[in-house]
Structure 1
Amino acid sequence: MLPFLPRYYLSVIVVTLGGSAQFYSYGIVNVCQELLSEWINSTYFERTGEPLTLTQSNVIWSFVVSSVAIGAICGSLVTRTLAEKFGRRNALIMNGVLNVCGALLELLAKPAASPEFLIAGRLILGVNMGLTSGLVPMYLMEITPGKWRGSAGTLHQVAVAFSDWFSLFVGLPEILGSRALWPYAFAFPGFPALLLVIILPFCPESPKFTLMNLGRREESLNAIKSLVEEKEVQPMFRTIVKEAAQFSREGRGTYKELFTRKEFRIPITVSILVMISQQFTGCTAVFAYSTDMFVNANLNIDTARHATLAIGIVYFLFACSSPFLIERLGRRFLSLFQLVSCLIALIFLSTFTYIQQISNHAWASYGSIGALIGYMALYGIGSPIPWMITAELFNTKYRSAAVTVAVFTAWTFAFIISTAYLPFQQLVGVAFSYLPFIIISCISILFMYLLLPETRDKNIDDIVTEIRFRGQSLSIMQPFRTIPSDLAINEGRRLLPPENFEEEEDNDPQQNHENYQAILP
């Protein structure tokens, strides 16, 4: 039986539905593309008396889609600052207020005949999503005991998958995706965000933030008591106290250290590459343009919308399995499996689309549909890994800075891909528009195979040892050396030159004892 109290479940539900589910805004454009493109064209025709060209229409629509990613880039950059200055809970509440403002702009876009309002609203919602990417997993993992922390971290990605499916459902013409109701479909995220703003103040602040940043020992302990059963209170509090002692001793790592210290070269490279690899599986393009892809597979628009809804359901169901598979199969295996599987699905999708274009065979259209469905299933299995792997590669001192860099990287490439895909598709054709994803995925698989360590059931020292082993293998031009199954800290010291191994042990036991005692009750 899980040792959680009602307030814990309330906190989790509020932040996942009011926070993580805001990724709804990324998917809603998918099923509404034709409808919104017509509205934008007619609006500009009324203003200028001239219709938009196909290129102009594609560029404007690309910015409607990618404005969310632009905002998310900005949001990701200030996540750490807001979380440390105002606290995880208060930052989430501020983020909810921001979401409501963005939703109001989207609601007013049609009455004001202003595509600019639509883009501005999505830009604000993008800032919300960028903040959510860091704040929600951070809050969930800090209010959860260590044994269940990994599963709590994956709840964010499961909620993202649910919101993607739900946006495809709400965007159907039979629901809110009609000419009269589409503003309500776009503004819908404001409702759960408003609930978050109202309810979250009654939930506890992160006990870790309360102790480490504010120094309020009793308040931190009381927060834990309100979240978990009595048997988990002291173990959870002791863990936080130890982290607080380390924090008071070492301070917080800087971005400069991440990119200049030799021992961080491989971890920060892996953190960046794992995000780039996921984006170049083509997920951003599929999430934003799968309806268009189905239309190109000779489905009519109504059938294409329902097919998009179907792959959204497939994605959500397979994403639900990821918390169990991650712990059973490991992060490294599942990440490589996802990359290879998505690569194969993209090759099939490109091939079937090309055959359909040159021969108009009906079976090729079914092949394209099957490839897209298979792609979403395989992508969903490993989708949470990039969002959690960075936190496992770094200790407490450098974790928040590294996560910020990783999230910034993810949203930057999401913006690039979502902006460039449609014009690129128009330039080279649908079948060849998948080639950049295929080529970069091949390169990504090679680098991930060489560099990505397994982090399951390992402490930070074991992970660092494996990273250094892989780094040494590259430096001596033996990148495919097998990792010893019993590789441990002492083995890492034997295999590596002394100058490459920086001790992370406590240098001043007396000072460590004083720091620890200063925080203990």
Structure 2
Amino acid sequence: MAESEADQENQKLTALLVAAVAISVLGSSFQYGYNIAVVNAPAKLIQSYFFDLDEISNTTAEPLTLVSVYNTSHGVNGPTDYPLNPATVGVEKVNEENEEQELTDSQLFLWSFTVSIYTVGGMVGSFSTGFCVKKMGRKGTLLASNSLSIVGAILMGTSKVADSLEMIIVARFLLGILAGLATGVVPLYIGEISPKRIRGGVGVVHQLSITVGLLTAQVLSLNEILGTEQLWPLLLAFTGVPSIIQLCVLPFLPESPRSLLIDKSNELKAREALTKFRGTRDVSNEIREMRREADAEKQTQQLSAWKVLKNKPVRWQLISVVFLQVVQQLCGINAIFFYLNRILEDAGVPASMQNYASVGVGSVNVVMTIISVFLMDAAGRKILLAGGYAIAAVFCALMTASLNLKDEISWMSYLSIASVIGFIIGFAIGPGPVPWILTTEFFRQSTRPAASAIGSGLNWTFNFTLALIFPFMQKAMGPYVFLFFLAVCVVATVYIIMVVPETKNKTFQEINLMFAKRNKIKNANLDMNGEDDPLPL
């Protein structure tokens, strides 16, 4: 059915919609990215203070790559993009003879725990999404989560004065919970308040804000700004600033209209909220579409994660979301950044310039994610997702070749840098942002919160799992580890082409019907209990 001029007008951005999206990602998604990267550059300063490195005698501590591997697990683009520099973790020149001081085994474990506890918090937060959204709503969950950030900021900002590394550990756990909630709630909220025609582009803003948070942490960590012995507590505490801004603004913005109408049966408030977001009183068609979804689910309460797992009408939606979230972690983005410092060193980049080079790489990530905002609703989700993994697969092959041949062919080190940039381009345009968008689009109101919790929870779980197994993979396979990531990218490309539908310009109801045949639902007009829905969809 052709859209009326009023419908087309309602598909545009309004000032209030922009404000709601911006403030929701600033206080949540941005902090997710920021706290991934913020401990990287000042790691040596923090260790020197709490472990009193100047007094450590030489030991036979374990190799320090485990710490950097733990930190590579924290990214989003999937969880982390910017790991600790292995060269700065616990190794310090102490005299002219270049003797090395290393962390003792117990100190190494404590620092590893400090870094990795962020991921544990992320798992807790992501699996709590469904419960929190049910009890507090989308906006209420975002507001409540700011308490975690503010408490965390206070703990980290005063940790040096209190001489307590434990305060940083507790703070990173709390911030991990915030990040886990962000990966579940933010895509849910901005996906539900956005018009279907621009929902994909708006959805990318969640991923974009994560990359901007990463880059902001890298920039503020430079020696010229906050990355100094005196100012690193302020660098860690900066995470509380976005939360304060969100607390001041978000209460004045509307709740998700879909949540108000479908979950709380309050059509009057839903219409008021939708009118504000669209900038017009002519929102009848969207309200009608929400009513139809509400009627289709009127016998269905919001489902728990366990009930969603057993729910036949959403089986392939859930399989696809689980697959996309898992392969996002297994595709190799963390390994690419694990090799980054070595690649830069092989290419002749001085150690003093490597932080600036990392900022440059982070800038590429941000720029390509910005580009994906404009491509998402023009090209579509499926082509960007499949194409992104295909591009990443090509550069995994080139990375394997360049790392193996760099000692024989001098210019191969530059091919390594090009491969890093190429991989980031492929990841940023599709595999980074699209899984979060599809997690919102694949499900109707009763299953969306639980499905979002399952998807983001598994993302964090495999994020943590990769942190544990990657050291052994890297030790056993060396640069050939990228062949594993090549295989993951190829499998992901094939699955997306064969299974994942294009959701561009589709309503949530229409997307659900696209899966009906694959779910072996004989009557496409079914509610979420598998019973006939008398309403035409």
Q: TM-score range by the shorter chain?
A: 0.7 to 0.9
Structure 2 counterpart SS, 1:253: coil
Match of 2:459 in 1: 410
For 1:20 and 1:509, the matched residues in 2 are separated by 37
Deviates more, 1:381-390 or 1:293-302: 293-302
For 2:230 and 2:42, the matched residues in 1 are separated by 12
Q: Report matched runs for 1:157-306 at 5 Å.
A: 157-286=207-336, 290-291=340-341, 294-295=344-345, 299-306=349-356
For 1:25 and 1:313, the matched residues in 2 are separated by 17
Among candidates 134, 137, 150, match of residue 187 of structure 2: 137
For 1:216 and 1:386, the matched residues in 2 are separated by 30
Q: Report matched runs for 1:81-100 at 5 Å.
A: 81-100=131-150
CA contact (8 A) 1:102 1:122 kept: yes
For 1:365 and 1:179, the matched residues in 2 are separated by 33
Match of 1:24 in 2: 34
1:79–1:289 distance in 2 versus 1, CA, 3 Å: farther
Match of 2:421 in 1: 373
Point out where structure 1 has 5 or more consecutive residues left out of the alignment: 472-498, 514-521
For 1:71 and 1:93, the matched residues in 2 are separated by 18
What amino acid is aligned across from residue 499 of structure 2 in structure 1?
L
**What is the CA distance between 1:422 and its match in structure 2?**
5.1
Deviates more, 1:77-86 or 1:143-152: 143-152
Deviations 1:315-365, CA, capped at 9 Å, x for gaps: 111111113322233322221211121122222223222333x44x54232
Match of 1:42 in 2: 52
CA contact (8 A) 2:187 2:440 kept: no
1:75–1:228 distance in 2 versus 1, CA, 3 Å: same
Match of 1:14 in 2: 23
**What is the CA distance between 1:239 and its match in structure 2?**
3.3
Q: Report matched runs for 1:75-114 at 5 Å.
A: 75-114=125-164
Match of 1:504 in 2: 525
Among candidates 384, 395, 401, match of residue 450 of structure 2: 401
Deviations 1:26-57, CA, capped at 9 Å, x for gaps: 122344455555556536x86x8775714367
**What is the CA distance between 1:168 and its match in structure 2?**
1.7
Q: Report matched runs for 1:468-507 at 5 Å.
A: 501-505=522-526
Among candidates 389, 392, 413, match of residue 441 of structure 2: 392
CA contact (8 A) 1:88 1:205 kept: yes
**What is the CA distance between 1:309 and its match in structure 2?**
0.7
Structure 2 counterpart SS, 1:396: coil
1:246–1:464 distance in 2 versus 1, CA, 3 Å: closer
**What is the CA distance between 1:419 and its match in structure 2?**
4.5
For 1:445 and 1:57, the matched residues in 2 are separated by 31
Point out where structure 2 has 5 or more consecutive residues left out of the alignment: 1-8, 68-108
CA contact (8 A) 1:93 1:197 kept: yes
Deviates more, 1:63-72 or 1:293-302: 293-302
Match of 1:315 in 2: 365
**What is the CA distance between 1:469 and its match in structure 2?**
6.2
Among candidates 336, 343, 348, match of residue 386 of structure 2: 336
Structure 1 length-normalised TM: 0.81
**What is the CA distance between 1:99 and its match in structure 2?**
0.9
Deviations 1:238-284, CA, capped at 9 Å, x for gaps: 33333333332333334334333455443322111111111122223
Structure 2 length-normalised TM: 0.79
Give the structure with the higher percent helix. Answer: 1
What amino acid is aligned across from residue 279 of structure 2 in structure 1?
E
1:5–1:372 distance in 2 versus 1, CA, 3 Å: closer
Deviates more, 1:97-106 or 1:264-273: 264-273
For 1:280 and 1:346, the matched residues in 2 are separated by 12
For 2:207 and 2:119, the matched residues in 1 are separated by 17
Structure 1 residue 58 corresponds to structure 2 residue 58: no
Higher relative contact order (CA 8 A, sep 6+): 2
CA contact (8 A) 2:127 2:457 kept: yes
What amino acid is aligned across from residue 465 of structure 2 in structure 1?
I
**What is the CA distance between 1:86 and its match in structure 2?**
1.0
**What is the CA distance between 1:67 and its match in structure 2?**
2.3
**What is the CA distance between 1:373 and its match in structure 2?**
1.5
Identity of aligned residues (%): 26
